[in-house]
Structure 1
């Protein structure tokens, strides 16, 4: 690795630990410390952090890893809800390491997280599926895939996998959660997770989670923050684009708690300082609790320094402890290892009242007792396992193999350590069966499971399991869906007892699988024929629908054309009516403006004859002192508008409409009589 790469990693680690976003400032601290990370941290750490580097504190023996503490140390200052602070030796040991190198290892533990290792500490991952205003709880092993989770969701909600849209994943893992083969342990999940199921119906619903994140960027969030232990409350209203680092800086201005000392409760899992509020998945109104880790570290250091840790044996009485006053002064050193506890024969605790939790404990205890490899047991209720195996189309149907375990049977160890570890047996179960396990050791668990067999399959299945003798256990019941009296039911097809060899077990499983597949061939043919009929009917319906749509389109086009023609006629009629009204208005104005017609015996009279385009004439007497406009008004009063017609004199030919209308007839030589000609304008 080059020197530049080393410096880049040191710079990134320094910024992650101290929370300093300014690269220039961080660079200057490292340069001043000659790129020694510990020296640079000493320069930045305030004086009140001095107890952290106190190497005089002697920590007790390191306790077993605490999943909650591990999650806290890997959360960059984020803590889950309902985290109870329990100060004590184990916590102070984690909080006050004995050396600076151990401190650096602890502080930098959040830089390279391993989600797979983190999730492998969990026996079961719990999912709360919200769908149609109901809550469905599903438990899955960490190594289960998204496809297996969707199968479980189908079992409880009846929503097919092809129509399932699951929302609520961490934004950074949303794309991986869309892959069916992705394992749950690789999604940085919490022990309990809330997911929202949306049914992608035939109406064309599309999952718009990413679009909603984009829309949330511009929204204003109402964050209610409580500072503990002071109990001080305040509110902030940042936008969705604000990063968590920026929010921490704003809180520093209010509370004076430095960013690197802020410990938050209320963020969803998977958030880091670079996540913005819109991507974090919180509601628009959300509550947080923030604490000062520096103060708590100081308090726990004082508690650890002033407290003697005394461990009492749970089986010792108070009197016995009083007699042991000289125990600490004893010179005896007990170096013998404690006796190894025998493995628990019971894979499910007594009086289990929930099949899902009992199934989960069965798988985990089976793995711990018999080790790897082991068959892939279904985790959940018997009804869900039966749905996954039998309540499906014939092509997808499998056999349900119910493994009945008994811790008191002498066959158990041989059967589990040899037969159930065989790779061929494990592969056969994986390909052809849904394997479900249950522990029949306790009578209470046995009775509950027998009742479940009666409810899910029938009373004969329960009676078959009850009559298996202890010397024949463990046993495997093979259940399949078969035809009986014209209807389909689930029946016990075969029972394989534990006193069997490896070859016989393999042949029995294969033989039952082959016979079952032969029985399914008839159902598969019927389903194919039914699917073909449905396809033909669907095509006919589509053709009819297409024809119907075409006819409707033609009718709509015809109606649209008729409506357009009617509108055009109405427009033309309206324009014609407006034109007629305009012409009539002009005619009336011209008629009213005409001077009275002189009598025939009066002097200075001009008799004007107007020849129309049709050949007939109009005649009227005018005074020679009347104007040309009076003549034009006479023409217009008779329906020949001047903007449509021209008036020409006979000789010499003149366009009278182009002459000033205020000239008299006398000045225009239009007396004692004259014939003028009307010509239409073009």
Structure 2
């Protein structure tokens, strides 16, 4: 056998092994090779031998897949209710996907909402060998209130994780189960768990991480009694009976994207992880045909297995990763090791951060978001990553127009985590599109663009295309996005112009408002000044009037009395004020001018403000010496004196 025949046989067995694992879901490499060897590497025969007969004859109503190769019942005969079996596959009823976890295995069922709880227990019996009378299924969104309700009464979501408990496996029975009502604040949902008293707090947290996609280290709890620890059992805690309510939400504390070696979940799943990491990838080889010149004619199973295992890379995202950012780091590092160096620049970080990097920019700087979905069990993955994503033309297009973010869908837990992330960030339609993707369609590239504050899925390119088709699809997406971007730029420019005009108007209004306020303040200050001045004048006038009254009272006290009629040397003086009024007073000729001045003061006429003029000849006697007597100025017995303002 020459080297080319050896190489062809080697590659052919690799393809058969990959197809067999993809069809049967058997992850254990040794078990897969054992089935193929028993069928002489005939793929169809091996699949028929490996897959139980009852799973090949499933009705259109239900599809069941097992995630564990350790529990295989071999087909326990089951009997479904007549209502369930009579429903046609073309029914318009809602389909519910149920994933039931039991220890280290899980079973996935797709059933119509009219299916009853007892029907489900019968199906679980066929896969787990646990009789329905010993089964307790918990984790329902609505706790069952009867013995056999339809699934529509228990499940509102299209997908739900449940937990199977064998109530006869231990000393505790159903009556001693603890009923926990768990409120997930972030999802606005309730979950009901009924668990034995021997269950630990950590096991509750682990189950909640499956139900809510919130990793254990990210869970923020309310409602646990004081003093609890991860190892505390439910029976050791003072829980409310019959129902104890707990609340959980995702912690906002940032975590470093590193592997926590002391994590309990890592230690508990290390054996599973090590087994799952042993898968084959022989598409890249540095060997040449000359390397086989001395090769033996035949290959033993041990040689094939050992060489296959060593050449297979680790998964891009481990199945026990709990943090989105850590998963992104694992993906980028694994992708680079496996397919580098000619690979796209995947974004390091969460999906939300990648969306901000692509969309939260001015319209001219925005880019499309490309979500690359990888699956290790797809035979198209290697060619897609090396030949298509590694093309220089494709890489240039990615660098110019895209923010790329990658995820590995190989493990079911990682697939569920991605569905939750896409649901919360891109909406139910995008999550539904991913949920509908089969492994045969993967890998895939989903292209999203920002349009009018929404994220629109422009295109999805599946892995079964060549480089020319892939490049054409990319350029078509670029053309669509360019048209969208032009519209976004125009609308943004118009919005910026409107905002600028509005800002200018607001500034002008504020300036006018400030000017009006300044005027009002000035008027207010002027009014206050005028009020103060009026008050000062009033006080001054009042003070002046007070002084006048005091002066008048003092003068009146010292003013000589008016002489009586008939006395000698009496002079009668008539005073005419500026307004034309007159008043009369008698004086003695021996009185001085000061007596006249004092009298006029009592009448309100101060000499400092008024002149005293004789009628004839006109003479201002107020300018004379006040001690001068009336006789000395030769006033006649009767005289009129005129008062004039100075």
TM-score by length of 2: 0.41
TM-score by length of 1: 0.39
